[in-house]
């Protein structure tokens, strides 16, 4: 089963603007699939996962592009960075839009090569796993409290939302009911460590890196603490920082930056870490059912990561720019998420409750003391209906995300 991706229209627009369209993102989120679903009949397809084709691209890039002439879709191009200068020459010679569609799941090396060789010639897009809206086959718009309207959407119960959290967002898990979640994630981690991490770093002990991934997953929704993670994994802080950088650039985690200005001298300046795929996070932490996850110690933190991830995806998949922050001060007063768009700050509280109260959003008043302009706030929770909490804040059911 194919789920229509919201990025499809963005790809079509970018294809009319640039000679090269690049999609990056984690492995197995559907980068090549979304291209294939909209490609023309005359566009060739080649994947550099094929060892023979990869060898040709690496050893004789000119012959490779003669063999697979544009328009062409080249999958996993990070395996052959030798192609980039030749793609540039091709583009500069023929000056046609949409000549090359390329994907890559190792952006830490890929983006440097793209910036160096194809500056001004490439439209760069990002894809994450299926959004909640895409799973429901509905149009997903960038989340903003000001633009939310009533819809006939079935409310999520605790069990139904934690089932989504546990399953995650990789399209393959939704393609067939026969796919075993544990088998999929075990295979995913093996591929990620062996192909991406081992080839690009000096990681010698795969078990240590897997231990690191589990330690990070257990800290989703928490402030980033390199020292604590280093102690738990048994490596240096420098190593932890390097490995966190790998997770960031491969799209597996997101660091939510703290909001502060000249009037927030008591604000904490440490970022908060969120796993972008809560299914992978749950698997790494050993959760096996929505019931145990929703009743466990991580229930609030992983619900927060799920909501933050869905909101971020709603912008990424529409190629819309916004800045995302959280606020916490030394008195532990916190705003879970702040969306900055068009010079307005939108405060978001994320609460695992079906009975939201005014007291849940009292920290929103902190923004009034910072001389900033705010938009409508929201409390995202398990309530059944979209409803005003007060004049400034909406109660937003989690089903309205995306």
pTM: predicted TM-score of the whole model, two decimal places: 0.94
Give residue 16's pLDDT. 95
Report the pLDDT averaged over residues 284-296. Answer: 96
CB neighbour list of residue 311: distance below 8 Å, 6 or more residues apart: 143, 324, 337, 339, 348, 401
Question: Of 304 and 115, which is predicted with more confidence?
Answer: 304
Each residue of 113-129: pLDDT tens digit? 676 778 889 999 999 99
CB contact at 8 A, 238 and 227: no
Q: What pLDDT was estimated at residue 212?
A: 95
Task: Spell out a b/e string for 48-63, using b for 16 or more CB atoms within 10 Å of the CB, else e.
Answer: beeeebbebbeeebee
Q: Three-state DSSP class for 107?
A: helix
* The pLDDT value given to residue 262: 63
Average pLDDT, the chain: 91
What is d(CA 111, CA 5) in angstroms, rounded to the nearest whole number? 23
For residues 277 and 27, give the distance between their C-alpha atoms in angstroms, rounded to a whole number.
12
What pLDDT, on a 0 to 100 scale, did the predictor assign at position 117?
A: 78
Render pLDDT for 247-284 as a digit per residue (tens, 0 to 9).
998 899 999 999 987 656 667 889 999 999 999 999 99
More confident residue, 73 or 198: 73
Check residue 336 and give its pLDDT: 98
Query: Is 340 or 106 the better-scoring residue by pLDDT?
Result: 340
**Closest-CA residue to 379 (of 359, 155, 149):** 359
Q: Does 107 score more than 60 pLDDT? A: no
For 370-392, what is each residue's pLDDT tens digit? 888 999 999 999 999 999 999 99
Residues 166, 155: Cα–Cα separation, whole Å = 18
7-126 CATH, one of 1.10.10.10, 3.30.365.10, 2.10.260.10, 3.40.50.300 = 3.40.50.300
pLDDT tens digits, one per residue of 333-382? 999 999 999 999 999 999 999 999 999 999 999 998 888 899 999 999 99
**H-helix or E-strand spanning residue 315:** helix 299-316
Residue 46 has pLDDT above 80, yes or no: yes
Q: What is the pLDDT of residues 7-34, one digit of tens each?
A: 999 999 999 999 999 999 998 999 999 9
Percent of the chain with pLDDT over 70: 94
Picking from 93, 116, 166, 120, the residue whose alpha carbon sits closest to that of residue 18 is 120
For residue range 164-200, what is the model confidence (pLDDT) as tens digits?
A: 999 999 999 998 888 999 999 999 998 887 777 766 6
pLDDT band at 1 (very low <50, low <70, confident <90, very high): confident
Tell me phi and psi for residue 395, to 5 degrees: -85, 120
Whether pLDDT at 109 is above 70: no
Q: Where in the chain is the domain with CATH 3.40.50.300?
A: 7-126
Q: What is the pLDDT of residue 112?
A: 65
Q: Is 267 left (phi over 0), alpha (psi -120 to 50) or beta?
A: beta
pLDDT digits 0-9 by tens, 210-228: 999 999 999 999 999 999 9
pLDDT at 108 over 60: no
């Amino acid at each position: 089963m194919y789920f229509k991706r919201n990025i499809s229209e963005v790809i079509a627009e970018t294809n009319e603007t640039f000679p090269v369209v690049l999609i990056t993102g984690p492995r197995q989120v559907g980068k090549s699939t979304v291209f294939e679903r909209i490609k023309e009949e005359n566009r060739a397809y080649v994947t550099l996962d094929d060892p023979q084709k990869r060898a040709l691209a690496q050893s004789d890039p000119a012959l490779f592009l003669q063999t697979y002439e544009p328009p062409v879709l080249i999958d996993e191009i990070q395996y052959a960075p030798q192609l980039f200068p030749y793609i540039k020459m091709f583009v500069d010679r023929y000056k046609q839009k949409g000549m090359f569609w390329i994907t890559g799941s190792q952006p830490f090396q890929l983006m440097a090569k793209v910036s160096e060789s194809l500056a001004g010639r490439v439209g760069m897009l990002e894809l994450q796993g299926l959004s909640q809206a895409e799973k429901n086959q509905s149009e997903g718009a960038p989340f903003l409290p000001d633009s939310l309207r009533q819809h006939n959407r079935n409310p999520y119960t605790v069990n139904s939302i934690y089932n989504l959290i546990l399953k995650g967002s990789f399209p393959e898990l939704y393609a067939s009911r026969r796919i075993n979640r544990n088998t999929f994630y075990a295979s995913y981690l093996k591929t990620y460590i062996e192909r991406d991490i081992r080839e690009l770093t000096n990681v010698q002990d795969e078990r240590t890196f897997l231990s690191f991934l589990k330690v990070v997953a257990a800290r989703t929704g928490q402030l980033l603490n390199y020292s604590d993670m280093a102690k738990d994994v048994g490596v240096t802080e420098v190593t932890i920082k390097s490995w966190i950088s790998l997770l960031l650039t491969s799209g597996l985690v997101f660091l939510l930056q703290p909001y502060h200005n000249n009037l927030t001298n008591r604000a904490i300046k440490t970022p908060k870490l969120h796993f972008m795929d809560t299914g992978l996070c749950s698997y790494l932490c050993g959760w096996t059912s929505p019931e145990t996850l929703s009743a466990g110690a991580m229930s609030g933190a992983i619900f927060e990561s799920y909501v933050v991830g869905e909101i971020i995806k709603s912008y990424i998949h529409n190629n819309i720019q916004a800045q995302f922050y959280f606020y916490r001060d030394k008195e532990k007063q916190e705003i879970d998420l702040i969306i900055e768009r068009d010079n307005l700050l939108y405060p978001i509280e994320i609460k695992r409750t079906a009975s939201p109260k005014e007291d849940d959003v009292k920290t929103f008043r902190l923004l009034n003391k910072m001389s900033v302009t705010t938009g409508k706030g929201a409390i995202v929770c398990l309530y059944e209906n979209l409803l005003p909490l007060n004049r400034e804040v909406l109660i937003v059911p989690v089903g309205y995300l995306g």
